[in-house]
Amino acid sequence: MKIAIIGGAGFIGSSLTRAYLNAGHDVFVIDSLYAGTRRAIDPRARFYHIDMRDEQLYVILQRERPDVVSYHAVQKLHELSGEQVRADADVHVRGLLHVLECSAAATVCKFIFASGGNTLYKPSGLEHVPLSEDATIYPCLPLAISRAVGEWYVRYYSQQYGLKHTILRYADVYGETDITRINSTSHPLSYFVSMLKEERRPIIRGSGNLMHDHIFVDDVVQANLCVLKKGENQTYHISTGRGYTVNQLYQMVALVLASNVEPVYISGSLAEACSVVLDNTRAKKDLGWYPKVSLQEGVRYIVQQLCASQPSIKLSRIKHIPT
Per residue in 36-56, pLDDT (tens digit) is 889 999 999 999 999 999 999
Give me the amino acid identity at 85: V
**From CA 12, how far away is CA 277, in angstroms rounded?**
21
Instruction: Give the tens place of pLDDT for each residue, 172-230.
Output: 999 999 988 888 888 999 999 999 999 999 999 999 998 999 999 999 999 999 999 99
Of the pLDDT bands very low, low, confident and very high (cuts 50, 70, 90), residue 141 is confident
Say if CB 9 and CB 33 are below 8 A apart: yes
Give the whole-number percent of the chain exceeding pLDDT 70.
Answer: 89
CA distances from 56 to 88, 98, 106, 150 (A): 21, 11, 13, 22
Q: Share the mean pLDDT of the chain.
A: 91
Chain centroid to CA 197: how far? 25
- Look up the pTM and report it: 0.93
> What is the rounded end-to-end Cα distance, in angstroms, of the chain?
46
Domains of the chain: 2-173+216-238 (3.40.50.720)
CA dihedral 37, 40, 42, 46 (to 10 degrees): -10
